[in-house]
Structure 1
Amino acid sequence: MNGKVMVFAPAPVLTVTIERQAGQEELHVHAGGQGVWQARMVASLDCEVSLCVSVGGEIGQVLTDVIGRLDPSITLHAVNRGEESGWYVHDRRKGQRAEIAEHPGPPMTRHDLDELYNTALIEGLRADVSILSGPADHAIVNADAYRRLAADLGANGGTVVADLSGDLLAAVVAGGVAVVKVSHEELIDDGRAKDDSVPALVDAARQLRDEGAQAVLVSRAGDPALALFGDDRVATVHVPKLQVVDHRGAGDSMSAGVAAVLARGGDLEEAIRTGAAAGALNVTRHGLGSGRGDAVRELVGRTRLEPLEQS
């Protein structure tokens, strides 16, 4: 069972990066944004992907072309919007990302959002699992669209994985989701956790469960992730120690790994270990949401869940 995953990526961005390789200046143009990176990882784990996006203007035309060449397992479902798509330009010639300029794009109009919603709903109903990802700026998409989409998919037998924060997280949890992935920094920024201590983060995870999430996965940068699942089971997720090249995108790969396993009919423990392994592999690479499936599977066997002893 290969499985099929719908990724709701409402506003992908065009990424332009300047690099220096072997003494030569290079310009790299890619499609970016959380949902695009998640789709890449899901495809690398042998699942079919329906990527539902909205794009507009000249930048949107370039995005459509670039996304269309990402992976043969990714099928693009693009809704044309009236406004220009977002973008950013980074300079990485000195080894670190330096932002030159960026524009996430304007808020979606009601008509454009309705069209995208219908597209995502149809593809989500056809998929085994749906991932709901966020835009670069929360103001681009009305939060209630996330609540409705999660509720409509769940009410019709769909399995929903969400990787969101802030008002979008609150909305999607209210709609009901199978798995929520959130970072400890986001829990603190949202006022859900008072600090980064394990008890505070576990309490925040339980709050999300009480609001509508069946399982919660909390990433903690270099520390083991926390997983709340089943009958109030809490575990720390331990992955092999690997050298970090770029930490960005690890959380997106984690969500993608969870979704890919669930789409293939795997259980939640396997999904959590695979998600953690995918996130660990991502930090060893420069490309966000990148990584070979065979490498992820090798790391899964070295990833373990340890029950958290609670007082």
Structure 2
Amino acid sequence: MARGLVTVFAPSPQLTVTVEVLDGNPDIHVHAGGQGVWQSRMIDSLGVDVVLCAALGGETGSVLRHLIGVELKALDVTARNGAYVHDRRDGVRDPVVVMPADALSRHDLDDLYEMTLVQGLHAGVAVLSGPAADDEPVPDSVYRRLAEDLGANGCRVVVDLSGARLAAALEGSPAVVKVSHEELLADGLSESDALPDLARACRRIASSGVGTVVVSRAADGALALVDGEFFLVEVPRLSTVDTRGGGDSMTAGLAAGLALGRSAHDSLKLGAAAGAVNVMRHGLGSGGGDVVRELAERVRLTRWEEDR
């Protein structure tokens, strides 16, 4: 049975250190992190082959090379990868220290772009993920160029970005855009979190040539625009351990579904189930493929009319 293949563009993964409590004592966890890493883990869990394209440099980059855990196409650079230390001993994430990533040099940027283009064209489905919010290892224009060049040559591009990075990627007309309602509000694309305003934002995004727009709404069901029709996405209720990473897992499920040859609607169900599973677990981008597939059968898509 074909597994499908997805390329994930993660320009600068992070080294993450999280302190928790085990039997009353500090319990330290060291992982590779960042949006693209978390997405790649979930794609792999769903039985789809994944290739992560990233730049690695400095001591943090050396450690990350051994922690990423999926097939890696790494560009060796002098720019350091970022890192953070979070303290979760009281049940919430308390940032202790954050080290931002360094910007890539012009030549390194060209090499990373070329490597991602080759891998994306080979895979046929590519996810464009961003670095940490305050990191700027690559210019925003890279997202426009990748979306445009990959899409023009038959690759279906899935975008999970916000702000100037999203605006740049939209100029390249990606196939799928996943965005949260908080990001739409912060970017001034929606006037409120009411469904009619979010729907208007979806229409504006779709006007860039995007076929599917998915807006995650935290604990509420997502709103999706698929080939001109709106749907409300209802997922089974699960207990919540950590809400971070739910949107990244949803993006992973969307991309995995496309790589497996599923329809946009079935890919949306898989993405919604992956997001739901992630929030009931410790660790981002985690969750077993069996439980995601089982829950996907229980996801409901209900048509929603804009004049409500």
TM-score by length of 1: 0.96
The equivalent position to 1:118 in structure 2, one of 107, 114, 117, is 114
Structure 1 regions of 5+ residues with no counterpart? none
Runs ≥4 in structure 1, deviation > 4 angstroms?
none
* Contact 1:18 1:26 (8 Å CA) reproduced: yes
Q: Give, in angstroms, the shift of residue 213 of structure 1.
A: 1.5
* Alpha-carbon distance in structure 2 between the residues aligned to 1:59 and 1:3: 31
Mapping for residues 279-290 of structure 1, pairs under 5 Å: 279-290=275-286
Amino acid in the other structure paired with 1:63:
L
Q: Give, in angstroms, the shift of residue 273 of structure 1.
A: 0.6
Mapping for residues 1-311 of structure 1, pairs under 5 Å: 1-67=2-68, 70=69, 74-136=70-132, 137=134, 139-230=136-227, 232-311=228-307
* Contact 2:236 2:298 (8 Å CA) reproduced: yes
* Contact 1:138 1:168 (8 Å CA) reproduced: no
* Alpha-carbon distance in structure 2 between the residues aligned to 1:13 and 1:139: 13
Amino acid in the other structure paired with 1:139:
E
Q: Give, in angstroms, the shift of residue 305 of structure 1.
A: 0.3
Q: Which moved more, 1:256-265 or 1:22-31?
A: 22-31
Amino acid in the other structure paired with 1:36:
V
Amino acid in the other structure paired with 2:3:
N
* Alpha-carbon distance in structure 2 between the residues aligned to 1:238 and 1:299: 11
- What secondary structure, in the 3-state scheme, does the structure 2 residue paired with 1:66 have? coil
Q: Give, in angstroms, the shift of residue 138 of structure 1.
A: 5.2
- What secondary structure, in the 3-state scheme, does the structure 1 residue paired with 2:113 have? helix
* Alpha-carbon distance in structure 1 between the residues aligned to 2:100 and 2:292: 31
* Alpha-carbon distance in structure 1 between the residues aligned to 2:300 and 2:138: 37
Amino acid in the other structure paired with 2:236:
P
* Alpha-carbon distance in structure 1 between the residues aligned to 2:140 and 2:13: 17
Offset from partner CA, 1:72-91 (integer Å, 9 cap, x none): xx210111122211000011
* Alpha-carbon distance in structure 2 between the residues aligned to 1:172 and 1:214: 14
Amino acid in the other structure paired with 1:56:
G
Q: Which moved more, 1:8-17 or 1:100-109?
A: 100-109
* Alpha-carbon distance in structure 1 between the residues aligned to 2:24 and 2:14: 28
* Contact 2:199 2:306 (8 Å CA) reproduced: no
Q: Which moved more, 1:134-143 or 1:53-62?
A: 134-143
- What secondary structure, in the 3-state scheme, does the structure 2 residue paired with 1:211 have? coil
* Alpha-carbon distance in structure 2 between the residues aligned to 1:19 and 1:244: 17
Across the aligned residues of Structure 1 and Structure 2, the Cα RMSD in angstroms comes to 0.9
Q: Give, in angstroms, the shift of residue 24 of structure 1.
A: 2.2
* Alpha-carbon distance in structure 1 between the residues aligned to 2:129 and 2:225: 20
Q: Which moved more, 1:106-115 or 1:94-103?
A: 106-115
* Alpha-carbon distance in structure 2 between the residues aligned to 1:59 and 1:19: 21
* Contact 1:273 1:303 (8 Å CA) reproduced: yes
TM-score by length of 2: 0.97
Offset from partner CA, 1:85-133 (integer Å, 9 cap, x none): 1000011111111110002212222111111101100100110310000
Amino acid in the other structure paired with 2:212:
A
Offset from partner CA, 1:176-227 (integer Å, 9 cap, x none): 1110000000001001001101011000010001023221000000111000
Fraction of identical pairs, as percent: 53
